[in-house]
Amino acid sequence: MHLNTKPLHELLDLINKREIHPREVIADLYRAIAERENYIRAYISLAPQERLLEEAERLRDKPLRGLPIAVKDNISTREFKTTCASRFLESFQPVFDATVVHRLKAAGATILGKTNLDEFAMGSSGENSAFFPTRNPHDLERVPGGSSGGSAAAVAAHEAICALGSDTGGSIRQPAAFCGIVGLKPTYGLISRYGLVAFASSLDQIGPMTKDVRDCALLLNYIAGRDPHDSTSVERPCADYTQELGQEIKGFRVGLPKEYVADLSGPAKACVESWEKHLRALGAEIVELSLPHTKYAIPAYYLISSSEASANLARFDGVRYTKRASNDSVEAMFSESRDKGFGPEVKRRIMIGTYALSAGYYEAWYGKAQRVRALIREDFASAFKRVDMILSPTSPTPAFKLGERVSDPLAMYLSDIFTVPASLAGLPAISIPGGTVDGLPFGLQLIADQFQEARLLRAAYALEQEIKS
């Protein structure tokens, strides 16, 4: 077995026992990239192998032993361009590392490369990159999910040991589900957003994408915690998130919302039923419950996130960050630069957001969406008085075919129906491999109350081991 197929924690154990050297892991990673990257297209940029070998030698005494991690290309890195998969930023070279990158480097990680995404993280399929679409390693005719599709595909294709993604409405969890890996969206405020190019500032969170749950917990140990550069990061003690792994979940009450299973296909419902059996075998109790405002989550999310995107992307005007369109008037220069710089999906969301925030419509659209968001939070607050955890599929379907939903934005948006509610409520949620539907990976999602990542990971680990056995 090639070393690049092993999870991070196993590699660290082998290195600590002096059975392998980090350079062997790096060599296997680059061998896989040479074999598969031409058709997977997970990366926008890659570090030279020689540089990583030199850095690994220098960092081998630090906790992460110089092992490489892939980073989504909307997270700032000094040694790589940060393009957000957009023509607007294709030449943008940051002068600082994002806090999460800085923390990983301080722990001894190296950065393998920057992964592809839907432009400015706006998409659910990986097809909205301005450069090229990424393909699903399980079926090259299907999408890897979005927007962190490059990170998910890199880990699933063993072109990365683990990766960082960002999640606004499901952009870590949905591609993790489609590609058959583990992806965690932490509680809003647990991880610094400093250096993450903003899409929707009240929703965006960085999180780990890994081969298994233990790696997820391990990475979270290094990137969680208060950051003075980010006023939305929360001051609270961070646990060792690996500590509860392996503990039983007997007595856990797990809620299954009726809204999340009502319209599933037969094979998908069979998967959910098998998860219930696994949980009961572990001693957990299944509780049927209702999250009645789920049906309003998608419209509320797209109004709120698009409104915030409209404000955040106003800075991309042709004056800063990129080459401007040549034009005599300032107004024409702004207009032409944005027309050429942004792709169709980004333009669509800017227009939705600008309309929702405009005079005469603000209260009817944006204000109403925020009130719906409050109702969704109340649904979860009521649910967590009865249960410890909420179970659902990560997405209603497995990965769909490339091009299948490009011309139907609503169908594309509905693929996030099970991930968006937790994002609106600021809750931690994880997707783990939950079996297959039609021969493709099908993700299992667990949602916990705020800052209950340790308990969430404990339950996810127990289920992961039970499903594998």
Enumerate the active-site residues: 72, 147, 171
Q: Which residues contact 416 (CB under 8 A, 6 or more apart)?
A: 124, 169, 170, 174, 298, 301, 395
CA dihedral 378, 380, 382, 387 (to 10 degrees): -170
Backbone angles phi, psi at 211, to 5 degrees: -80, -25
| Contact between residue 213 and residue 455 where contact means Cβ atoms under 8 Å apart | no
Tell me the CB-side half-sphere exposure of residue 33, using CA atoms within 13 A: 24
Tokens at 107, concatenated: 């722990």
**Distance between first and last Cα of the chain:** 20
| Contact between residue 382 and residue 257 where contact means Cβ atoms under 8 Å apart | no
What is the C-alpha separation between 18 and 157, in angstroms, rounded? Answer: 26
Backbone angles phi, psi at 223, to 5 degrees: -105, -10
